[in-house]
Structure 1
């Protein structure tokens, strides 16, 4: 079963207004921004990081990239690195590879968010496929996920 129904159930249970959109296949966060006709800064890019204590989701706006040294500092883990698709594919069984939503609580993973993601009132993110996105207010996302906020991304 795809993750979208579970995500919708969570948002409805939490009383969060949301919008689901369908678009042509988009495989990068910037492509999602183009397909959805929204600024890249509103699209949440999800990156899986593997450290000595396991996996974590790092979330930043589409036009940003992770500074790996800052990620290591945030995790206090000099061994932290970007996880490979092979390493993380089984962590998100109801999602297409690279299309997982930034809701680590659905997968038992900690979430770190760069403060730049909160620049706009709402965020857009993949909903488990490369053709579906969800839009929610950033404040609702933060309330439900309770991410750790840390500066780890730089604008490309």
Structure 2
């Protein structure tokens, strides 16, 4: 969605592990937005896109849904950040546990992850 100065974009509350053309990917966006699946698929030339099940996430990455940090590069998978994240000075997220989280400057996170940044969200 185009960035709008009248909208408050929440920090990371939504991190999706999906399968794009049979390969895992990570999609990260503020919690008050959702992925525009059609736009995402068109933008990145993806034919098939589906969410991984909680069991697939546990089996493939050893993590529970809700505990996954936004660094797909560490997990060896492409990571996509929605551009709305850029409006956050800091972002917070869980770090492998449902009870442990951290806060980090967005710019530091972007430098660590080196995500693919795009405009692919819509308001819920």
Does the alignment reach a TM-score above 0.5?
A: yes
State the TM-score bracket (shorter-chain normalisation): 0.7 to 0.9
TM-score, normalized by length of structure 2?
0.85
Q: Offset of 1:112 from its aligned partner?
A: 0.2
Alignment partners' CA distance in 1, 2:53 and 2:41: 17
Alignment partners' CA distance in 1, 2:99 and 2:48: 34
Q: 1:130 to 1:148 in 2, by over 3 A?
A: same
Counterpart in 2 of 1:146? 114
Structure with more helix by fraction: 1
Asked if the contact 1:58/1:113 (under 8 Å) is kept, the reply is yes
Counterpart in 2 of 1:112? 80
Counterpart in 1 of 2:5? none
Q: Offset of 1:70 from its aligned partner?
A: 1.8
Structure with more strand by fraction: 2
Query: Which blocks of at least 5 consecutive residues in structure 2 are unaligned?
Result: 1-7
Provide, for residues 85-107 of structure 1, a one-character-per-residue CA deviation record: whole Å limited to 9, x for no partner: 232222321x3233100001211
Query: Which blocks of at least 5 consecutive residues in structure 1 are unaligned?
Result: 1-38
Among residues 26, 38, 42, which one is paired with 1:57 in the alignment?
26
Alignment partners' CA distance in 1, 2:119 and 2:51: 17
Alignment partners' CA distance in 2, 1:73 and 1:144: 27
Asked which structure has the greater CA Rg, the reply is 1
